[in-house]
Amino acid sequence: MTPAKSKLGLSKPKTAKARALAAEIVAPVQEFIDKHTTITIERATLRLLGADGANSDGIPVPNLIAQQCGGRLSGGAAVYYINALTKLSKTPAELNAEIAKGLDISKIELTDLKHIQKKAGELVKGLDARITANVSHRNAKLSQYKANVRSPLIYVIVATGNIYEDVKQAQSAALGGADIIAVIRTTAQSLLDYVPYGATTEGFGGTYATQENFRIMRAALDEVVDKEKRYIRLVNYCSGLCMPEIAAMGAMERLDMMLNDSMYGILFRDINMYRTFTDQYFSRMINTAADIIINTGEDNYLTTSDAVEKAHTVLASQFLNEKFAANAGMPNRLMGLGHAFEINPEVKNGFLYEYAQALMAREIFPEHPLKYMPPTKFMTGDIFKGYAMNTLFNFVSKATDQGIHLLGMLTEAIHTPYLQDRHLAIENALYVHNTMEGFIDEIEFKKDGIMARRARQVLDETMEMLSQVKKHGLFTAIETGMFAEIKRPRDGGKGFDGVYEKSPDYWNPVEDYLKNKLGVKAAPAGTAR
């Protein structure tokens, strides 16, 4: 990690003030979150309690139950599922099969609450055992092969649309040196308000995120772990209308990282902000309980905004993502805050600005496994220039001690990477990272040089932006386009009709379990519990 003393001369009081501003901005949003649930939080809860499967039309059992409950979701869906298990004396698998055939559990008269709570305790105990076993397995492998852990971790993407083809490419990449495999989701899955069931072989621009696909890929990567003597991490995308459900599936199937941003869905997928903020909280509690590292999506800001003029929006978002995650009980070591190498290569001294901004992020967030994204916006199809740009990106990543390094592909902007494209990318990164292993400890910078001035400027602009966001409120800031220059109305977007104010009798045994496990404070007095 970076030394306590800033090489860029950043002001610790200013960074502390930025964090204080972020806390003040997030506080009223958290008040809303504490008072509300969503249809996908309730479906995620059902999944974690054992609801699974689909009917003959492909509608998932958790969706069927949510439909049956209707407006009663404001009191929580778990009580109806657990009541049915208790009164019908069925296992979750047996009950799921009956629901898939048409059983409406919302019409079953509720039994004594003590019996429901007792059954809930049994189900939660089983859930905790499963999550704990997954965490223990991962930690045991990381400890067994700790001598082979690299920094930064090399992250590559597979996305054929067919989970079985993905397996071949993922294993090949892992054998070639990748530490992290991400399976991109099929185009627009984030806009589906359900999670498809079973293994899938037809995706577009990616592969469907399903629990069975997670299981298949996790097993495939486990086959490589002992051969390579490195634990290979698996990533998917915990975002969109089913954010908490995907977190639940990842926790159960031992995924290791999840893309899980507090605002990405609002800005880039036009998902309602109330829905997204409420969902991200529950999903992050699940990820924390499962010891899953999250990756945030600040790199996306630079696809719509200029990376020099709007660098401060990235840092502002990182401060907000940090606070939202902390509210969900997440420690810094699990917060893979995002940023990117996206300055126009024609900008004079652009490399120094990239270097300054990456080091600035590392110095401000020293305990976080920062996720650094490669150049994409200005890749032209010139593979030789692209390879050179990626080499500079690899240099900056190692020189600033990034934690998670998503490899750039020389064929970016041409086609989905071939196996040899990934091989060249891994080879390049391994060479650069190895040859400059101790560079970060050797280098110093001018106190008033280009890099130091640039970092201080970005921090100052970030503080000014956070002050403005605090003044107007985060909801208004998003409405007026302060982030990524994208405007979203607070009552618009997809999924708004799936947000429910918690009733006074709201009950969610999984939420209670997560908050207790993580030491998350209960909702303030006077709010629905």
Active site residues: 264, 299, 371
Q: Are 270 and 245 in contact (CB under 8 A)?
A: no
As to burial, measured by CB atoms within 10 angstroms (0-12 exposed, 13-18 middle, 19+ buried), residue 135 is: middle
- Looking at the DSSP bridge assignments, the partners of residue 237 are 259
Q: What tokens appear for 315 in the block?
A: 């840092």
C-alpha dihedral sign at 94, 99, 104, 106: positive
Distance CA 135, CA 516 (A): 18
What distance, in Å, lies between the first and last C-alpha atoms of the chain? 41
Closest CA to 182 of 260, 116, 111: 260
Tell me if 83 sits within 8 A of 111, measured CB to CB: yes
Give per-residue burial for 383-404: e unless 16+ CB within 10 Å, then b. Answer: beebbebbebbbbbbbbbbbbb
How far apart CA 399 and CA 2 sit, in angstroms, is 10
CB 296 within 8 A of CB 338: yes
Encoded amino acid at 445, one letter: F
Beta-strand pair 153-158/293-295: unpaired
